[in-house]
Amino acid sequence: EAGVAQSPRYKIIEKRQSVAFWCNPISGHATLYWYQQILGQGPKLLIQFQNNGVVDDSQLPKDRFSAERLKGVDSTLKIQPAKLEDSAVYLCASSLGLPPYNEQFFGPGTRLTVL
Amino acid sequence: TQLLEQSPQFLSIQEGENLTVYCNSSSVFSSLQWYRQEPGEGPVLLVTVVTGGEVKKLKRLTFQFGDARKDSSLHITAAQPGDTGLYLCAGATTDSWGKLQFGAGTQVVVTP
C-alpha cells in the first residue's frame, strides 16, 4: 500500500515570506497529524485532524500557522509570515485512530530552511 | 517541554556489542511506542507496549514497559550497522485521542 506522501521535500525561503506544505495520507486513515521536528528534538504535534475536523491544535502558533483538511483526505499546512525559528522538518502522519495500538505512519517530511 | 526524557542522548558502539536506551517520565501512559528514524525519513514504528511490566521481543530488540507505566527501555543485542538511527519513544495518555508525546530521542551509531 502507498505510504504517506508529502511535498515539497525541501524548501528554502526568506523570513517574512509564506510557505505551504502538502500531505496525502494513507487511504482510509481518518486521523491526520502535522508535527514540527527541530534539529536535535523529537517531533512536536502542531495539529491533529479527525476526518476534516480539528481534534487538537493547542500547540499550533495560530498567529502565523494555519492548516486545513478539506474533504477529510489531503491536508495543507501554511506558515505566513515565516520566522527564523520555523526552520525545521515538518512531518505529516496518519493513523486509523484506534487507541491504544494507534500506529502512526509518517511521511518523509519537508525540510524548511528560513534565511 | 518534553514530558519524556530519553537517555543517553547519543550512543556510539561497535558492531556486535549490546546497548540499552531509556525513556522516563513522571506521567503515566496508557501506551508507549518506540520508533526508529533514519536521516531524511519519518519515524517508523517498532513496537507498542500497553501493559505495565510487559516485555516484547522483536528479533534482537527487547522492549520493556515499567510496572507503573511511566518508563520504558529498549535493549539491542549484538548490534549491527543497520541498527543505526534515532530511537524515539512516544507515550499516549488515556484522554489524548491518540495524541503522542515524543521524547527527544537517542542517536545510536553502530560502526563495523
Residue carrying C-alpha cell 528479533: B59
Residue of B21, B94, B96 for testing the chain A interface, max A β-carbons within 10 Å: B96
> For position A6, what pLDDT does the model report?
97
Please report, as a single letter, which amino acid is at residue A66: S
pLDDT above 60 for B2: no
Q: Are B90 and B37 in contact (CB under 8 A)?
A: no
Which residues between 63 and 82 in chain B have a beta carbon less than 8 angstroms from any beta carbon of chain A? Answer: none
Tell me if residue A40 falls in helix, strand or coil. Answer: coil
E strands along B28-111, which residues?
A: 31-37, 44-49, 55-58, 61-65, 71-76, 85-92, 101-102, 106-111
Question: How many residue pairs bridge chain A and chain B with CB atoms within 8 Å of each other?
Answer: 71
* Span B64-73, pLDDT tens digits: 999 999 999 9
Residues B16-24 have a mean pLDDT of 97
Residue carrying C-alpha cell 483538511: A69
Q: Are B33 and A106 in contact (CB under 8 A)?
A: no
pLDDT interval class at B59 (50, 70, 90)? very high
Residue of B6, B31, B37 for testing the chain A interface, max A β-carbons within 10 Å: B37
* Span B71-80, pLDDT tens digits: 999 999 999 9
> For position A70, what pLDDT does the model report?
82
